[in-house]
Chain A
Amino acid sequence: MSARIGVVQFPGTNCELDVQHAVEQLGGTAEILFHAERDLRGVDAVVVPGGFAHGDYLRTGAIARFSPVMGAVADLAAAGGPVVGICNGFQVLCEAGLLPGALQKNAGLKFLCETVELRVDSTASVLTGGARRGDVLRIPINHFEGNYVCSPETLAELCDEQRVILRYIGNPNGSLDDIAGIRNAAGNVVGLMPHPERASDLVLGSDDGIVLLRSLLDAATERAALVAS
């Protein structure tokens, strides 16, 4: 049975079909979950994809966290289910309190759309479980507000518990401690600014995102087995 991934669609989301395509290319099943839905139809994992959810009104992710579907996403996260926020999805998970910190405007005050190099710094997450520490991945970023910031106490906690899963090599946006992606304490909730779905085929210039997406599919399959048993 293939892993079933729910891909959340808010008004203004624009990467849901890319994520769906990449998941299906790897043999998974991806279902679009409209933000007004209150249950996740029993999917094994959820991706909150990139875009401009609810127009990014007030702050990026601030309104999206109140969408009905987010209650079910928080329940899945609390139950140990894999939840991954990509780009705007990362901002949504921070606003929802599922991950610490916030994403502020890029240090260069420019919208960045380019392929960057990332180093895998922790494999204890649903997105990096199949990678090796120290792996270097070439994956695109596409954001104006990707500059990760948090309190010194939170940063110390993230570093001590090895919860920074991906760091930029050549920090493009000013992120604190070169942070590109983090996880929660249990490793089942992950947020990252780079777009692995846009590096899922050599025709796109890189397929380095596959190792991340495949890790997510494996985590979803494991989750399905756990729920079934």
Chain B
Amino acid sequence: MARFEARIDVSHLPGILDPQGATVEKALPALGYTNVTQVSVGKSIRLVVDAADEAAARAQVDEMCHRLLANPVIEAFSISLAELV
């Protein structure tokens, strides 16, 4: 059994409204950053999972994303895993 830290990045699907991103995008030029576009504010979820190997851990986290952590109608997600030693 190995232990993995998973970082899950949940973002809005294209076309889904992101008021936080829009507000940040409007605020940055006020600080002089006039060259910024496409700001998106999503969620970052961290969790630790015990599994036989990385593939098993990834499969399980992927299932968690589909069932709870993200809503596929409006959100996309990506998973990165690191083994904890």
Judge whether B39 is part of the interface by a CB distance below 8 angstroms.
Answer: no
Verify A109–B22 contact, CB threshold 8 A: yes
Minimum CB–CB distance from A20 to chain B (whole Å) comes to 30
B66 to A: closest C-beta gap in Å: 12
A38 at interface (Cβ–Cβ under 8 A)? Answer: no
A58, A106, A107 — which one has the most chain B CB atoms within 10 A of its CB? A58
For B19, the chain A residues whose CB sits under 8 A away are 105, 109
Residues on B with beta carbons closer than 8 Å to the beta carbon of A174: 17
Q: Which of A29-37, A146-154, A186-194 contacts B (4 or more CB under 8 A)?
A: A146-154
Which A residues are in CB contact (< 8 Å) with B69? 58
For the complex formed, measure the closest distance between the CB of A161 and the CB atoms of chain B, giving whole angstroms. 19
Selected from B16, B22, B68, the residue in CB contact (under 8 A) with A149 is B16
Contacts A104-B17, A105-B19; is A62 near B73 (CB within 8 Å)? no
Contacts of B71 in A (CB 8 A): 59, 62, 95, 102
B74 CB-CB contact with A under 8 Å: yes
Q: How far is the CA of A59 from the CA of B22 in the complex (A)?
A: 19
Interface majority SS (helix, strand, loop, mixed), chain A: loop
Given contacts A62-B68, A109-B22, contact A101 B17 (CB under 8 A): no
Whether the pair B73, A107 counts as a contact (CB closer than 8 A) is: no
**Given A147-B17, A149-B16, also A101-B22 (CB < 8 A):** no
Contact with B along A92-109 (1 / 0, CB 8 A): 001100000110111101
In the complex, residue of chain B having the shortest beta-carbon distance to the beta carbon of A107: B17
Binding site for A on B (CB under 8 A): 16-17, 19, 22, 68-69, 71, 73-74
21 pairs from A and B in contact (CB 8 Å cutoff): A58-B69, A59-B71, A62-B68, A94-B73, A95-B71, A101-B73, A102-B71, A102-B73, A102-B74, A104-B16, A104-B17, A104-B74, A106-B17, A107-B17, A109-B17, A109-B19, A149-B73, A149-B74, A150-B73, A151-B73, A174-B17
Beyond the given A102-B74, A150-B73, please list 9 additional residue pairs across the A-B interface where CB-CB is below 8 A: A58-B68, A62-B68, A62-B71, A66-B68, A94-B73, A105-B17, A105-B19, A109-B22, A149-B74
A contacts, CB < 8 Å to B:
58-59, 62, 66, 94-95, 101-102, 104-107, 109, 147, 149-151, 174
